[in-house]
Amino acid sequence: MSADTLSLPLPPPLAADGPARLLAREGVQACLAALDAPGEETRLVGGCVRDALLGANVSDIDLATTLLPEAVMARARAAGIKAAATGIEHGTVTLVVRGEPHEATTLREDVETDGRHAVVRFGRDFSRDAERRDFTINALSLDPDGCLHDTTGGVADLAAGRVRFIGDAATRLREDALRLLRFFRFHARYGSGAPDEEGLAASIAARDSLDRLSRERVRTEFLKLLLAPRAVDAVAALSETGLLLRILGGVGELGRFARSAAVEPQLDATARFAALTVRTTEDADRLQASLRLSRAEHARLTGYAAALAVLHGRPTIEADAVPALVATHGAGPLREVLIALDGEPRPLVTPEARARLDRMEAAGTRPVFPVTGADLVERGVPPGRAVGAGLRAARELWLASGCPDDAEARERLIVRALDVARLSRSGDDRAG
């Protein structure tokens, strides 16, 4: 056994049986068998080894190999394994076994890096391949015989809950600026205590490098961070160092984010992001531009802002106000805002109101305005502005009345709409 291999037992709290269970997976065995060639070597690497050591569910399987990509594809196909050149320019081939993907990448060495892109060449040295990775806990590898290879101290760091850059932190950040965000995300997922001092200092010094990253990459990485177990601590550290302001272009609502991150079942990343970043619809618009939010994400943030404005503007929310709020904003956004505001002076939500909102959300119901323009046209109102005026007035009455849907209420709403429509037409006639 070479000096860089580890034998069991592993230090607690690592799972001693994790590597064996990973190697026993059908897809892993098939891929390793297919790539077993004289004079060549293939190992499991990176996150799958890390997560196996933690006893966690392993989803993404990565392999590193001395075989060149063309040989990987040829040997996989000869073994009856589907092979796709998903990243052939980087040496990556995806092997699919029973529908499960396994990414096999030829060992690489960096030739040149500029903070965003790297020029690499294929290599045969697993130690050098490990050195080009970001953190020690991501540089572990596991060979087919079950030997765990650790050339950077990743096992000790993983057991200690320490996220540490490989080698010089500043150098790793110059190679890829996205590692700044990954440092905080991985600390939020795998770390304990305060962030590694060298990594933190290097990240602060490299803050200008964030401006060179695509906004899409920043958004994706930051949203992943918000779902990590210790996201609240990581976001607080970003705020204390001034990096959060650099990322968001504004000050975060740390208390609201903490409340959103603490609830069960968990709110998704967009809901947590809204709690942290949004106070007004202008915030939603600014973030869409600065982080290239998708239309769906922007709509979620805008909906959050609208619900926040209504709820924060009311001293008390009674049960009879809930149907109109749900009709206007939806039960989901209302619940997300109330979670973020919990403990703040406004609004005071009565237990009856919370129970009613919970029932409506569980049922998936949202009150539907029971009057349409066709109802007014059928009763003699010509299509046009008068119809719109009548519907708006009837909807206001419907909301104020608690969103009734019985036949008597619907007729009352139609009468209201007709009255306003006639007044609107009279005004148009006089203006004409």
DSSP string computed for 227-261: TSTTHHHHHHHHHHTTHHHHHHSS---HHHHHHHH
- Pull the structure tokens for residue 199: 């990594």
7 pLDDT more than 80: no
Residue with the bigger pLDDT between 420 and 118: it is: 420
3 pLDDT more than 50: no
pLDDT value at residue 424 = 85
Task: Specify the residue for token string 């010094």.
Answer: 205
* pLDDT band at residue 429 under the 50/70/90 scheme: low
Specify whether the CB–CB gap between 301 and 278 falls below 8 A: yes
Question: What residues contact 376, with CB distance under 8 A and at least 6 apart?
Answer: 387, 390, 391, 414, 417, 418, 421
For the segment(s) 166-248, the CATH number from 2.40.50.140, 3.20.10.10, 1.10.110.30, 2.60.40.1760 is 1.10.110.30
pLDDT in tens, 195-209: 999 999 999 999 999
- What are residue 176's DSSP bridge partners? 115
pLDDT in tens, 77-131: 999 999 999 988 889 999 999 999 999 999 988 665 554 555 668 999 999 999 9
Peptide bond into 351 cis (omega under 30): no
Q: Could you give the percent of the chain with pLDDT greater than 70?
A: 94
- Identity of residue 429: D
Specify whether the CB–CB gap between 404 and 428 falls below 8 A: no
Q: Could you give the percent of the chain with pLDDT greater than 90?
A: 87
pLDDT value at residue 113 = 56
Half-sphere exposure of 53 (CA within 13 A, CB side): 36
Specify whether the CB–CB gap between 221 and 215 falls below 8 A: no
The C-alpha atoms of residue 236 and residue 37 are separated, in whole angstroms, by 50
pLDDT in tens, 28-63: 999 999 999 999 999 999 999 999 999 999 989 999
Run of H or E including 37: none
Task: Specify the residue for token string 């996150």.
Answer: 47
pLDDT value at residue 115 = 47
The superfamily (CATH) of domain 5-160 is Beta Polymerase, domain 2 (3.30.460.10)
pLDDT in tens, 358-379: 999 999 989 999 999 999 999 9
pLDDT value at residue 365 = 86
pLDDT value at residue 415 = 96
Q: What are phi and psi of 396, to 5 degrees?
A: -60, -45
- Kindly report, as residue ranges, where domains of CATH 1.10.110.30 are found in the chain: 166-248
149 pLDDT more than 90: yes
**Residue 152 DSSP label:** S
Q: Look up the pTM and report it.
A: 0.88
- Kindly report, as residue ranges, where domains of CATH 3.30.460.10 are found in the chain: 5-160
* pLDDT band at residue 427 under the 50/70/90 scheme: low
> Would you list the DSSP string of 151-207?
SSSHHHHHHHT---BSS-HHHHHHHBTTHHHHHHHHHHHH--SSPPHHHHHHHHHTG
Length of the chain: 432
